[in-house]
Amino acid sequence: MDRVDGGTMTRSGGPAPSFPNHLRWMVFWNFFYDSEDEQPINFWNYEKGKEAKFVKPLFVGLHGKPVKLKEDSVEANECSGASVSPESLYEAQLELRLGKLPDWVGSVRKEWEKVKALELPPYAATDIEKHDLHEEEFTLVEMLKDWQAQMANQELGWGVPIELSASVPEVKWKRDYVLLRTVLQAMATYANPVGKKDAPVPAMKVKVEVKPGEVVFQMPMQADAKAQKKNQDALRVAKELAPFCQGVLVSDATSLKLSLKR
Judge if 80 and 140 occupy the same domain.
no
Range of the domain at 201: 130-261
Write out pLDDT tens, residues 29-68.
999 998 888 888 888 876 655 566 788 999 999 999 999 9
Write out pLDDT tens, residues 11-28.
566 666 667 778 888 999
Judge if 257 and 144 occupy the same domain.
yes
- CATH assignment of the domain containing 200: 3.30.565.10
Judge if 136 and 257 occupy the same domain.
yes
Residue 119 confidence (pLDDT)? 78
- Where are the strands (E) in 24-70, listed by range? 27-33, 44-45, 51-52, 58-60, 63-64
| C-alpha to C-alpha distances, 151 to 8, 15, 203, nearest whole angstrom | 25, 17, 11
When divided into structural domains, the chain yields a total of 2
The Cβ of residue 93 has, within 10 Å, a number of other Cβ atoms equal to 12
Residue 103 in domain: no
Whether the per-residue pLDDT at 73 is higher than 70: the answer is yes
Judge if 143 and 252 occupy the same domain.
yes
Judge if 62 and 136 occupy the same domain.
no
Judge if 147 and 252 occupy the same domain.
yes
Judge if 160 and 246 occupy the same domain.
yes
3-state secondary structure 68-106: CECHHHCCEEECCCCCCCCCCHHHHHHHHHHCCCCHHHH
Residue 116 in domain: no
CB 176 within 8 A of CB 244: yes
Judge if 238 and 170 occupy the same domain.
yes
Whether the per-residue pLDDT at 124 is higher than 60: the answer is no
Question: Mean pLDDT score of the chain, rounded to an integer?
Answer: 85
CA dihedral 203, 150, 168, 246 (to 10 degrees): 110
Residue 185 in domain: yes
Residue 107 in domain: no
**pLDDT band at residue 262 using 50, 70 and 90 as cut-offs:** confident
Judge if 163 and 74 occupy the same domain.
no
Judge if 69 and 146 occupy the same domain.
no
Residue 223 in domain: yes
Residue 73 in domain: yes
Residue 200 confidence (pLDDT)? 72
What number is the average pLDDT over the span 203-225? 91
What number is the average pLDDT over the span 105-122? 85
Residue 114 in domain: no
pTM over 0.85: no
Last residue of a domain, one of 67, 85, 103: 85
Q: What share of the chain is helix, strand, coil (3-state, %, to 5)?
A: 30, 25, 45
Judge if 67 and 135 occupy the same domain.
no
Judge if 172 and 253 occupy the same domain.
yes
Residue 110 in domain: no
